Amino acid sequence: MKRTLLSFFFAIGLLYVSAQEFSPVDYVNPLIGTQSKYELSNGNTYPAIARPWGMNFWTPQTGNMGDGWVYTYTADKIKGFKQTHQPSPWNNDYGQFSIMPMINNLEFDQEKRASWFSHKAEIAKPYYYSVYLADYDITTEFAPTERANIFRITYPQTDSAVFVIDAFDKGSYVKFIPEENKVIGYSTRNSGGVPDNFKNYFVIVFDKPVEFYRGVRNGELVEDEREIEDDHAGAMVGFRTARGEVVTARVASSFISFEQAELNLKEVLEKSFEEIKQEGRDRWNEVLGRVEVEDDNLDRVRTFYSALYRSTLFPRDFTEFDAEGKRYHYSPYNGKVLPGAMFTDTGFWDTFRSLFPLLNLLYPSMNDQMQEGLVNAYKESGFLPEWASPGHRESMIGNNSASVVADALITGREGYDKALLWEALESGANSVHPDISATGRTGYQLYNELGYIPYGEGVNQNVARTLEYAFNDWSIYQYGKAIGRPESELQVYKQRALNYRNLFDPETKLMRPKDTEGNFRPDFDPSAWSKDYTEGNSWHWSFCVFHDPQGLIDLMGGKKEFVQMLDTVFVIPSYEGMKSRSMIHEMREMQVMNMGQYAHGNQPIQHMPYLYNYAGQPWKSQFWVRKIMDKLYQPTPDGYCGDEDNGQTSAWYVFSALGFYSVAPGTGQYVIGSPIFDKVTLHLENGNKVELLTDDQGLDGPYVQQMKLNGKVYDRNYIQYTDLMDGAKIKFEMAVSPNKERGISEDAVPYSFSTE
């Protein structure tokens, strides 16, 4: 009888759950990837509590001031709650300050004010965070908006409830305004990429009268100064509280002025904590709900929505709204306050591959605004950014803004100056920023003259640069062709798009460095992580011909030889190359994953498993893509296999879980892989729907037996962007064994420039 009753109530519970409103944000775990360190990245993320693409993020702070590892899962103590704009620990932060509630403690020092905490008493949602500070018997909660935040702090009974405000060092300011229960201030601490007049202005307002105040100057408490400007300014405000009494602090910031910070504060004024929290939850459900997953595998669903959350944080919206509701921004390029959109905190070397293609598919109107932001970046600096945080940064290689701009155009983005972007593309392809070598094209003179960048001429990462510039030239060619530029302007980029051929070595069938005379480097080790490549070796970079896989197949001797080279990547032991240079974390991440020379933790090779589709063996793509998803992604603190990188590694998973991937942005095609969900509905922005259904996909069914598009058998190894935009029903019949007759015809092969 007991079992019967239990079964009955369990069934009723399932019916109740299924009847609830679809809430994808409940599957998100912001702590995925936080079990990371300098030596080994499992994501190198922090719990970004924010609104989608928000100007400000907030996070609990376990690391020290200035430490790129702001929150690590293995830490025991919290040192503050930090406003952050950090895109990566390697690029670090700017526009940062922190607060910390305490009792009976006037210690400003971050180590002395820190409190023990436990993940068992911690709640992390994209829109809300709560933690119990054990040393102070305080529960701290916060819920942010795009430019503001609301804190709800539950104190014990005490005559000394303290609220610390730390504006950080390297130039900061605080001022107490007692009649308004308000503290204002600014922080200038940054890691580069800012003009000389950079400041992040903040305002904090309390709902309870402040009973005592202490200023802090360079770590020392100051009793009689309400206004402090120094290297390291801070403040402490205090109250008397009853047990369980809640103090609410409303916080906002601006890159423009104190007055604008007050305007931004309106996002949380006249609203309760619960209202702000619910609005954040609703906004995340709106954004994540563009993809509706129906599947019983909770680990996969959690991994998916956590990846989609990471894919909709960056690039951040850097714009603010004036008193009349007009958009404007502080320029991180020239320090002026100017009208229009601005987005930042993304590295195109990472995100051109799948993050921006994902935006074009699911959130096209957001990318319309981002393209306007790129136009403004060019107006304000003379270059398109390659790595922006918030302005131009000296990070990575390539001219991959060309891909971001081209894919946006090809997929129909509107509302920005496309002619000016053509000017920007041509300029960036034939110049380099005078101060930031990562912006524009380092080595463009050699590349334009020789058709490649040689080794030994003072331009390192020469093979990697050559391969990326060739793809970038193809992107520029496609953009120019689409907006109707004359053939006389396009021809040079069309020719340069084939420059990848100039470094192909027929002996090794790999991309190998050459000198200025055209001689291959004699001391060549394909597994060596040498200075000729970027964070990788020849096995990783030799397949970086996104726009022309057929051209690469031809160079390698045909499809059979090409497949053998792809297979070899997974066979060569992962320890090969580990002694070729001093260890970097990307090397260690490849080594420990035990997938040969396949290094999914870094971007250059992430498209490579899909290339079997170009060589008549699509089932191998299906096998490897499924294996990568199931082995290298988990909904846990160590859930990534390397740096998450501003949505790129997450967007790879989002696309791949759906069953396709953007191998070559700008082609308007997605290459087929191995879908992992029973049913997915894409709610497109234009009102159409795409239904993706699978039969028998299970954990052991990675192979596509048959595919149907709108009821008709579909044999191609790719699907068009336009097919999806029109609304579509795609059905995959999966199997435990490959169908070696599907997708092997010449018509089934995705785009290659050589066959255009």
Residue 49 pLDDT exceeds 80: yes
- Mean pLDDT across the stretch 11-25? 59
Q: How long is the chain? A: 756
The secondary structure of residue 394, as a DSSP letter, is: -
Largest CA distance in the chain: 87
39-53, 304-318, 517-531, 694-708: lowest mean pLDDT where?
694-708
User: CA–CA separation, 547 vs 537, rounded Å?
Assistant: 20
> How high is the pLDDT of residue 20?
58
The secondary structure of residue 405, as a DSSP letter, is: H
> How high is the pLDDT of residue 17?
39
> How high is the pLDDT of residue 6?
41
> How high is the pLDDT of residue 7?
45
Q: What is the pLDDT of residues 540-595, one digit of tens each?
A: 999 999 999 999 999 999 999 999 999 999 999 999 999 999 999 999 999 999 99
Rounded to the nearest angstrom, the gap between the alpha carbon of residue 652 and the centroid of all alpha carbons in its chain is: 11
The secondary structure of residue 316, as a DSSP letter, is: E
- Mean pLDDT across the stretch 88-115? 96
Categorize the per-residue pLDDT at 698 as very low, low, confident or very high, splitting at 50, 70 and 90.
Answer: confident
Residue 424 Ramachandran class (φ > 0 left, ψ -120 to 50 alpha, else beta): alpha
Name the packing angle between helices 648-658 and 298-310 (round to 10°): 130
User: CA–CA separation, 162 vs 544, rounded Å?
Assistant: 55
User: CA–CA separation, 413 vs 375, rounded Å?
Assistant: 13
Closest CA to 51 of 114, 143, 117, 138: 143
Domain 38-288 sits in CATH at 2.70.98.10
Categorize the per-residue pLDDT at 5 as very low, low, confident or very high, splitting at 50, 70 and 90.
Answer: very low
Cβ atoms within 10 A of the Cβ of 180, count?
A: 12
Rounded to the nearest angstrom, the gap between the alpha carbon of residue 195 and the centroid of all alpha carbons in its chain is: 24
User: CA–CA separation, 527 vs 56, rounded Å?
Assistant: 41
Categorize the per-residue pLDDT at 15 as very low, low, confident or very high, splitting at 50, 70 and 90.
Answer: very low
User: CA–CA separation, 632 vs 530, rounded Å?
Assistant: 26
User: CA–CA separation, 586 vs 604, rounded Å?
Assistant: 12
Instruction: Please give the full DSSP string across 692-754, using - where no structure is assigned.
Output: EEEES-TTT--EEEEEEETTEE---SEEEHHHHHT-EEEEEEEESS--TTTT-SGGGS---GG
Residue 13 pLDDT exceeds 90: no
> How high is the pLDDT of residue 4?
44
- State the pTM of this model: 0.96
Round the average pLDDT of the chain to a whole number and report it.
Answer: 96
By CB atoms closer than 10 A (0-12, 13-18, 19+), residue 737 is: exposed
Closest CA to 556 of 523, 545, 547: 545
Q: What is the pLDDT of residues 435-473, one digit of tens each?
A: 999 999 999 999 999 999 999 999 999 999 999 999 999
Residue 668 pLDDT exceeds 70: yes
Q: What is the pLDDT of residues 72-101, one digit of tens each?
A: 999 999 999 999 999 999 999 999 999 999
Q: What is the pLDDT of residues 343-356, one digit of tens each?
A: 999 999 999 999 99
* % of the chain residues with pLDDT over 90: 96
Exposure on the CB side of residue 664, measured as CA atoms within 13 A: 27
Residue 198 pLDDT exceeds 80: yes
Cβ atoms within 10 A of the Cβ of 581, count?
A: 13
Q: Domain ranges in the chain?
A: 38-288, 300-755
Quote the Cα angle for 341-345-350, to 5°: 120
User: CA–CA separation, 288 vs 282, rounded Å?
Assistant: 10
Query: What SS3 class is residue 294?
Result: strand
| Phi, then psi, of 335 in degrees rounded to 5 | 80, 5
> How high is the pLDDT of residue 18?
42
Categorize the per-residue pLDDT at 123 as very low, low, confident or very high, splitting at 50, 70 and 90.
Answer: very high
- Please state the CATH superfamily assignment of the domain spanning residues 300-755 in this structure: alpha-1,2-mannosidases domains (1.20.1610.10)
Q: What is the pLDDT of residues 599-655, one digit of tens each?
A: 999 999 999 999 999 999 999 999 999 999 999 999 999 999 999 999 999 999 999
Instruction: Please give the full DSSP string across 104-137, using - where no structure is assigned.
Output: S----SHHHH-EE--GGGEEEETTEEEEEETTTT
The secondary structure of residue 521, as a DSSP letter, is: P
